[in-house]
Structure formats: C-alpha cells, structure tokens
Amino acid sequence: MNYFSSNFKLGILGGGQLGKMMLYDTRKFDIYTCVLDPSPEAPSKLACNEFTVGDLLDYDTVVNFGKQVDVLTFEIENVNVDALETLEKEGVQVYPSSKTLRHIQNKGTQKLFYRDHDIPTAEFSRFAYTSEIDEAVDNGGLSYPFVWKSSRFGYDGTGVQVVRSERDLVKLPNVECIAEKLIPFKNELAVIVARNEKGDMSTYPVVEMEFHPEANQVEYVICPARIPDDIAKKAEQVALKTAKAFNHVGLLAVEMFQTREDEILVNEVAPRPHNSGHYSIEGSYTSQFEQHIRCIFGLPLGNTESKVAGVMVNLVGAENHTGKVVYKNIENILALDGVTPHIYGKKETRPFRKMGHVTIVNKDITVARKIAEKVKQTIEVISE
C-alpha cells in the first residue's frame, strides 16, 4: 500500500500530546491524518489534516469515524472497544487490535492475563467494588499495606493509591478495583517493545523512572537505566515475552519493578507511545512515534539504539495554580546545553496536569541527570 503523498488515511483516536507528537512524523512522511478527540482545543488539532470533535467512548461516534480511514490507531486506552471490533469485521485495519486492548483496558483483566501467560507480576485480588475490601481484610484474605488500583479509567497517577490502614480505604471511590501486594523495589523500570504484524520485534533500551512521591507521576526518565547488564537483559526478555503473549502490533510500553532480590515483575502496560519513550525524539536513531507508525504499517522497524544518553523531565502544573498557563523561566533552560522543551499546547494549567516535557541529552548520563535537576528547579508551570 502507498501510505505517502496518497489518498491513504490514518485515523488516530485521541488528540492529546501523544497524538500531537505522532503527527510530527506523519507530517515528515506526508501521511494524511484524521484525529478524533472530545475537546475542540485538543493539542493535535493544529497538526492533522482532518479534526473531528467526538466522544471516544461512544460506539457510533467511533464506528463512523473509523469507517472513513484505512488504518486506525489510538493514543489513549479509554476508547470504545466494541466499536473497534465492529470496524475490524468491516475491514478497517485496527492496530493495536481490539482483542489486545480488551485485555489491557481493565487492570483486573490485564493482571489475569499475566497470570495465565506465566508473566511475572505482583500478587493481587480483584473486587467488584472497593467496599468489598473490608471483608477481605477482616477474613485475613488481604492485609495492609497494599496498592489499590481502579480497574478502569486510571491515568497519570489517578486511580492508584497505597492503602496502609482502614482510614486510607474509606477515602477511595467505590468502584471495580484490584488490591495488589505492595512490592519493596529497588527501581521502577520500563521497556518499550516495537512489534509489527509479521512478528518482527525490537526493544528500546531499559529506562529508569523516578516518581513524584505525592502525585504518583514520573518526574524523570533516565536512559539508559543505571542497572547491571544482566538485570537489563532480564527486563528486556520479560518485555518481549509480554508483547508476544498479547500478539501486539504497535508499541507496547512495559512498566516493571526490579525487586530487592533482582526479580523483574510487570506492573502494567500501555499499548501506545508512552511517557517513558519521550527521550527518544532527541536521543534515539528512531523515535518511538516514528516506530509506532512503522509497526502499524508493517514497514521495517527502525534502529532503537540511543545516539546519546538522555533524561526526560515532565513539566506538570505547579500546585496552587489553575488557569491560563505561563512557562516561567523557559528562556533560562533553553540556555543550558542539550536541552529541548516540548510544549503540549494545553492552554489551561492545573496542579500536576501534564503540560509538556523537557529532554536533556549528553554523552554522560550523570551530567544529563544533573542538568535535568537544574531544569526541574528552574522552570515553573504557573497560571497568569
């Protein structure tokens, strides 16, 4: 199929920052793009060929949108899976598939998938409602502390809470959820796997993630991870096994724990470009966004090696700031070596909202990490 400078149409469900960054590469290749998003001010609006406002969870909206394109992909998991299945039956190529997304979309189903496919993961229990957890604790089936996760609609740290006592439990929404054993870990790691329909696979280097203690959001992504080679190899093997089990087509970001005993446990996966791969725009031979396009079009996979070490810093809205966004001191970080800001195009800021990221590249990962610290201390995402 001729994808370039032709009548071919790529549809993207979701017009957030991941869609916007994917559009860097569709524009580079002159691929015609159609984007569906519920917000008329979505970041992707400026960069696509056709923009449609619509609900990603509405069956008819997604089906009608999907019928107009040749290949359909998504940049967010919260989309109507029944609609994707209908489109596949009608001959639209949907990657990743509805079957894959159905396993991943619900965290309880996702965890069962790991258990069924012998993929190492933390012990867990499923609950139809949070209110049922009390009884499990009383009966001795569950003990504090544990990690509570909403089964649906969690993102960027929402829908995840460490529960240390009954007092923590009563604050949680009464929804379908899982309770997961709290794992004492050395590191949180991630591996992005690229896989096409032919089954060709490659992995990006293992990255290390440092989290904000309150917001449960990634603050720094460090590539390569500062871990021994044998641990990195083990993490890559687990990630490849996971992508193969899902029969995945596209990018699969596999988030993992390195335990104190150096075991690798899968935490969760994202079937799309991911925060842990943003460094690749500046740091890799092939960015994760270009690689996703290569995967879903069945093109040869690009080189996943890093040209240079990279650290990514998330730019999130400052606490106590809601309203029209101002990037304070951005000119100061632009004066630093190897620093590239990416501004997502969200006009309104609020506490901990993802507003952009900054990549720092350097031959020496230690130097890159120090500059990243300076970036974090210098730039502020505030309101007018």
Query: Could you tell me if 370 and 227 lie in one domain?
Result: yes
Query: Could you tell me if 87 and 133 lie in one domain?
Result: no
Q: If you average pLDDT over every residue of the chain, what do you get?
A: 95
Mean pLDDT in residue range 86-97: 97
Other CB atoms within a 10 A radius of the CB of residue 290 amount to 22
Sheet holding 124-127, edge to edge: 124-127, 177-181, 146-150, 160-163
Query: Could you tell me if 165 and 218 lie in one domain?
Result: no
Mean pLDDT in residue range 288-311: 98
Query: Could you tell me if 157 and 200 lie in one domain?
Result: no
For residue 277, is it within any domain? yes
Q: What is the pLDDT, as a whole number, of residue 138? A: 87
Query: Could you tell me if 344 and 205 lie in one domain?
Result: yes
Query: Could you tell me if 58 and 193 lie in one domain?
Result: no
Query: Could you tell me if 376 and 307 lie in one domain?
Result: yes
For residue 249, is it within any domain? yes
Out of 159, 181, 203, a domain closes at 181
**111: closest CA among 180, 188, 211?**
180
Q: What is the pLDDT, as a whole number, of residue 106? A: 94
Q: Detail the residues annotated as belonging to a binding site for ATP.
A: 107, 149, 180-183, 188, 267-268
Q: What is the CATH number of the domain that holds 50?
A: 3.40.50.20
98-148 tens-digit pLDDT: 999 999 999 999 999 999 999 999 999 999 999 999 889 988 889 999 999
For residue 115, is it within any domain? no
As a whole number of Å, the CA-based R_g of the chain is 21
Non-local (6+) Cβ contacts of 89 within 8 A are none
Query: Could you tell me if 345 and 252 lie in one domain?
Result: yes
> 277 pLDDT exceeds 70?
yes
For residue 61, is it within any domain? yes
For residue 105, is it within any domain? no
Query: Could you tell me if 80 and 142 lie in one domain?
Result: no
Cα 260 from chain centroid (whole Å) = 25
Q: What is the CATH number of the domain that holds 127?
A: 3.30.1490.20
- Tell me how far apart the alpha carbons of residues 322 and 353 are, in angstroms, rounded to a whole number: 10
The reported pTM is: 0.95
Q: Specify the range with the lowest mean pLDDT, choosing from 46-50, 51-55, 165-169, 356-360.
A: 165-169
- Tell me how far apart the alpha carbons of residues 279 and 275 are, in angstroms, rounded to a whole number: 8
Residue 76 backbone zone (phi > 0: left; psi -120 to 50: alpha; other: beta): beta
Q: What is the pLDDT, as a whole number, of residue 155? A: 60
Query: Could you tell me if 145 and 242 lie in one domain?
Result: no
> 156 pLDDT exceeds 60?
no
224-233 tens-digit pLDDT: 999 999 999 9
For residue 116, is it within any domain? no
Query: Could you tell me if 213 and 176 lie in one domain?
Result: no
> 159 pLDDT exceeds 90?
no
> 153 pLDDT exceeds 80?
no
Confidence of residue 171 (pLDDT cuts 50, 70, 90): confident
> 346 pLDDT exceeds 90?
yes
For residue 286, is it within any domain? yes
Out of 51, 78, 94, a domain closes at 94
Q: How many distinct structural domains can be found in the chain?
A: 3
% the chain with pLDDT above 90: 90
**359: closest CA among 220, 251, 151?**
220
% the chain with pLDDT above 70: 98
Q: What is the pLDDT, as a whole number, of residue 1? A: 83
Query: Could you tell me if 279 and 296 lie in one domain?
Result: yes
Q: Detail the residues annotated as belonging to a binding site.
A: 107, 149, 180-183, 188, 267-268
> 47 pLDDT exceeds 80?
yes
Q: Specify the range with the lowest mean pLDDT, choosing from 64-78, 161-175, 236-250, 327-341.
A: 161-175
Q: What is the CATH number of the domain that holds 314?
A: 3.30.470.20
Domain that holds residue 350: 185-383
